[in-house]
Structure 1
Amino acid sequence: MNTTYDTSSGAGRRFGVLRQRDFRLLWTGESASGLGSSITTIALPLTAVVVLHAGSLAVGVLAAAVWLPWLVVGLPAGAWVDRLRRRPVMITCNLVSAAGYASVPLAAGFGVLTFAHLLVVALLCGASAVFFDTAYHAYLPAVLDERDLLEGNAKLQGSEAATRVLGRGAAGLIAHVFGAVTGLLVDALTFVVSTVCLLRLRVREPAPAAPADGLTLRRQIVEGLRFVARDPYLRPMVAYGAVLNLALMGYQAVQIVFLVRTVGVDSATVGALVMAGSLGGVLGAFLATAVGRRLGTARGTLLLQLCTGPFALLLPLTTPGAGLLFFAVGAFMVSTGVVACNVVLGGFRQRYCPPHLLGRVVATTMVLNHSTIPVGSVLGGWLGGLLGPRAALWVMAGLLAPCWLILAAGPLRRHRDLPEAYEEEPAPVLVQARGAKTAQRSGASCQ
């Protein structure tokens, strides 16, 4: 059992789980790493364009290379993580990513940087992120007590949303003052900070359970897939995340073209409007905790999605002048709902799944959810070229607004709280959860 603190005092209520040393270190490291990763989302393609004079196709390939490892090694990563201690995996992934991103400014300094080098770094660091994220979500229950998971994950989600705003703004400033490749060096340093924080953790991680005799890696992967496919709670959650990501990536693929060419705004205004979405994530992380405790994790999640999803229909209504508020409010509310849902559903996985399956369940759900990201991007771009940006935005917003009904079709609508533990043979009437403790980490997409 992890150390807990009396939160009856003002300081306890104000800082909550941040009063716990191990969580504070984990949160600090993840916040630093999140800031660096947000900088890299701008710095990596900017390096390709400014330093190597790459075209739009090359930049698209570079962006796809970051996500490709999820489809290739995502499922095996879950099985491997379940066989290993999670903290050493995370530390190794941090060091690999730090070396990969630091190699770019080093090669640029010697005048030998090539697009192939960038592509290899994107693939290598993307694969590292697969293992890190899988181990990270499986490791958090070792740091926090069950009753603190909702609050802890909400704080992680909130800091991730905040660093996304700061990182993207800092990336442009760093590139303007020091050059595009410097942003990647900053990201490498944040991985070092994260590693130092992980090394200072005192929590004793339980030893991983040895796989049963004859249980090969392939059979472990199948076991994780089967668990997700058969579980009445996880199945609609994964379907919801996949559809949501399809719609999110679809509208994000055309939003810049829509704002610049259809609405006619300048680049600074585009940045401010897109930033509004990231700010909504901070509110979503806060609401997930407050609403989950007051209304219940199941009922509160459905209510938040019902109240935020339909705001996507404001996006295609955007016009010059005061009409820009349609986009700002729509993006803000959609991001609020996405992050709030990630906080609740992600922590539910951490608490609900059997510990020996947690890595595989996390990997399976993230692979299935991420598989629709490239599909949504291509579909949104194709519809934009075929029908025009505004019409494409209507299609994607029309898909996004009601997709909360996928969650409502499952067992969430029948309970106040999500269950706290998996039951091999659930009773005909599920016992309500004892408390409202659920959460996870995310960002611009559902995990």
Structure 2
Amino acid sequence: MRTTVGTAPPKADFNWYWTSQTASFVGDRLTGFAVPSIAILTLNATSAQVGILSAIGWLAYPTLGLVAGAALVHLPRRRVMITGELARFTLFATIPLAAIAGWTTIPQLLIVVALAGVATVFVDIAGQSYLPVVVPPGALVSANANLQSSDSLSKLIGPALAGLFLKLTGPYTSLLLSALPFLTSALSRTRIQTREPSTHSTHHQIPAPAPTPAPQFQGLTPEIVGCHPGTAGGNPQGEGLTTQMAKVGRGDTPPRERSEAGDTGHGATSAIARAPGSAIEPCEAGQPGLGATSAIARAPGSALEPCEAGQPGLGATSPETGGTPPALPLPGTQLPALADATSSPAAASPQAMLRRIRVGLRFVMDHAVLRPLVIGAAIRSFGTGMVDAVLLLFAYRVLGLSSLQGGLLIAAGSIGGLLGAFAANRLVDRIGTQRTLWLTGLEGVFWLAIPLCLLFAPAIVLVVIRVCASIWSPVWNVITTSVRQDLTPVALQSTVHATARTVTSSTVPLGALTGGFAGGVLGDQLGTSAGLVLVLATGGVIAGASVLSIGRTSQV
């Protein structure tokens, strides 16, 4: 029996979700190690080619990330995740098949990785926006910590296991084995029974407001969460959209909000009925849809789109109807035949998708809490892309390690990731969100020690640096993802997560290309060892410097 919207999802559903995500993480790590290893050890790829290979899998985010988020508003996310996992398995399986005919080349690897990256975008964004459906809001930090633990564990097991596969079965059979977890992930996702909030229902129930659990993030008070730059001007109370959301979360706001004349917080002279978890998007000035002189009743999970200029609102005063906006329904009453905007054919039009993209971008970039976190994540991703692009080159060509030894070396650093994932929640409880985020800057400090690899025991020094530096990225990820999910209304989950993922992931290929080409140029000038060490140190310092994005605000 499927769980209906509004009831607590069964714990078994999160367990299946967790299992599927863990299998997906393992597949990512196995194929992520096997493909560049095949390129370096079998196809003799250059430093620049390895950088391009590392970058191309991430190019789908800047090109398709926002489109995917807008499209997922009216697509079944569980089905999208299943389809994406099956596509990834099929794509990676073509490489061993081509090897049988002797057709495997660097261009083929690039094509497969690029197409698999497209599937990854849809699986990733769908999974991020689906999690709040499977777990209640108060459990998001715990759920994300569990997922981050699985991600860190996959980084520990995946490279070592992929290296073992390479040694025992050869490059191409090992890649086929490495793709099998994607099938496991797809199967596990079919067992999830929680039903997503429908985007095609024609009636909405407006529940009475109920208190929601207090935010779990110390330092993110309701007042801070609700700040929305630019909305105070012209608003006597200085309250904008996000302030109203914070009030609803506290349970101290009545279900009806009627703005005074001249209040620009929700658009000009609007009358809005709010429900917990709903998201009302203001129209541009002069649009009657959800902004000027409109009366709108919203329900949790609905996704009404702003009306175009000249279109009447939903029960609002309009040029066609005139008159006074009707009385708003009380909590617990049903709206008669109110169709979701996403149920109409126009919701899938390019114009509607572009409008949703703009809403997601505006929500993130206008939000005083989310904006610096997204910018910081983008900086961290750039530095991480530089490090990841040359780390295997350093292991194989400077340290002279085998594929199995290289896998073990990469995996050893993931011990720190596991420690960070387990410690994230405890650190937030003990010292607060902002101080914990500041601590993640230690990642850059540890990477500054990488030149010691040129002096003595390079393999041992690299393992120690990897372990110590890897603690902090999971801590950052757990906090920023949980904050974003907690502050984002249900109807905006897909577009907001797509915006954040697109911005942060778009810098990974830039970092990978920079690292790959810089490694080649510096290697020619300074020698391979010194050149790659310099790239690793620079990338690590950039990743740690991401905390500077939150340095001037006390609102995190």
Q: Shared fold by TM > 0.5?
A: yes
Distance 1:270 1:235 in 2: 37
Once the two structures are TM-superposed, the CA of residue 230 in structure 1 deviates from its matched residue by 1.1
Which residue pairs with 1:367 in the alignment?
Answer: 502
Contact 1:141/1:149 (CA < 8 Å) preserved in 2?
A: yes
Which residue pairs with 2:371 in the alignment?
Answer: 235
Which residue pairs with 1:429 in the alignment?
Answer: none
Distance 2:99 2:167 in 1: 17
Distance 1:40 1:342 in 2: 22
Once the two structures are TM-superposed, the CA of residue 290 in structure 1 deviates from its matched residue by 1.5
Alignment of 1:53-72 (within 5 A): 57-72=48-63
Contact 1:245/1:369 (CA < 8 Å) preserved in 2?
A: yes
Once the two structures are TM-superposed, the CA of residue 206 in structure 1 deviates from its matched residue by 0.8
Q: Which amino acid aligns with 1:288?
A: A
Which residue pairs with 1:443 in the alignment?
Answer: none
Tell me, yes or no, if structure 1 residue 327 matches structure 2 residue 462: yes
Which residue pairs with 2:380 in the alignment?
Answer: 244
Q: Which amino acid aligns with 2:510?
A: V
Q: Which amino acid aligns with 2:384?
A: L
SS of the aligned residue for 1:205 comes to coil
Tell me, yes or no, if structure 1 residue 314 matches structure 2 residue 314: no
Q: Which amino acid aligns with 2:168?
A: V
Larger Rg computed on CA atoms:
2
What CA deviation, in whole Å up to 9, does each residue of 1:115-143 have, x standing for no partner? Answer: 55433322221100001100100000111
Contact 1:100/1:121 (CA < 8 Å) preserved in 2?
A: yes
SS of the aligned residue for 2:196 comes to coil
Structure 1 158/367 Cα, relative in aligned 2: closer, same or farther at 3 Å? same
Give unpaired runs (5+ residues) of structure 1: 5-18, 414-447
Q: Which amino acid aligns with 1:146?
A: P
* Cα RMSD after superposing both structures: 2.9
Which residue pairs with 1:356 in the alignment?
Answer: 491
Structure 1 253/56 Cα, relative in aligned 2: closer, same or farther at 3 Å? closer
Q: Which amino acid aligns with 1:30?
A: Q
Structure 1 310/135 Cα, relative in aligned 2: closer, same or farther at 3 Å? same
Which residue pairs with 1:406 in the alignment?
Answer: 549
Alignment of 1:93-172 (within 5 A): 93-111=84-102, 113=104, 115-172=106-163
Contact 1:66/1:123 (CA < 8 Å) preserved in 2?
A: yes
Q: Which amino acid aligns with 1:362?
A: H
SS of the aligned residue for 1:344 comes to helix
Contact 2:386/2:514 (CA < 8 Å) preserved in 1?
A: yes
Alignment of 1:265-280 (within 5 A): 266=401, 271-280=407-416
Once the two structures are TM-superposed, the CA of residue 27 in structure 1 deviates from its matched residue by 1.3
* 113-122 or 72-81, larger mean C-alpha shift: 113-122
Which residue pairs with 1:283 in the alignment?
Answer: 419
Which residue pairs with 1:192 in the alignment?
Answer: 183
Distance 1:100 1:291 in 2: 40
What CA deviation, in whole Å up to 9, does each residue of 1:307-329 have, x standing for no partner? Answer: 55433322233354467655333
Contact 2:377/2:504 (CA < 8 Å) preserved in 1?
A: yes
Contact 1:297/1:344 (CA < 8 Å) preserved in 2?
A: yes
Which residue pairs with 1:201 in the alignment?
Answer: 192
Once the two structures are TM-superposed, the CA of residue 86 in structure 1 deviates from its matched residue by 1.3
Contact 1:50/1:180 (CA < 8 Å) preserved in 2?
A: no
What CA deviation, in whole Å up to 9, does each residue of 1:46-75 have, x standing for no partner? Answer: 444566666555544433321121121111
Contact 2:163/2:408 (CA < 8 Å) preserved in 1?
A: no
* 204-213 or 249-258, larger mean C-alpha shift: 249-258
- Choose the corresponding residue for 2:78, options 87, 106, 112: 87
Distance 1:396 1:83 in 2: 39
Distance 1:346 1:187 in 2: 28
Which residue pairs with 2:243 in the alignment?
Answer: none
Distance 2:541 2:105 in 1: 42
Structure 1 2/53 Cα, relative in aligned 2: closer, same or farther at 3 Å? farther
- The alignment's TM-score, normalised by the length of structure 2, stands at 0.65
Distance 2:38 2:426 in 1: 41
Equivalent residue pairs, number: 397
- The alignment's TM-score, normalised by the length of structure 1, stands at 0.79
What CA deviation, in whole Å up to 9, does each residue of 1:373-401 have, x standing for no partner? Answer: 23223333455415643444444444344
Structure 1 270/185 Cα, relative in aligned 2: closer, same or farther at 3 Å? closer
Structure 1 138/169 Cα, relative in aligned 2: closer, same or farther at 3 Å? same
Distance 2:542 2:104 in 1: 42
Contact 2:162/2:178 (CA < 8 Å) preserved in 1?
A: no
Once the two structures are TM-superposed, the CA of residue 84 in structure 1 deviates from its matched residue by 1.9
Identical counterparts, % of pairs = 35
Q: Which amino acid aligns with 1:315?
A: I
Which residue pairs with 1:294 in the alignment?
Answer: 430
* 205-214 or 164-173, larger mean C-alpha shift: 205-214
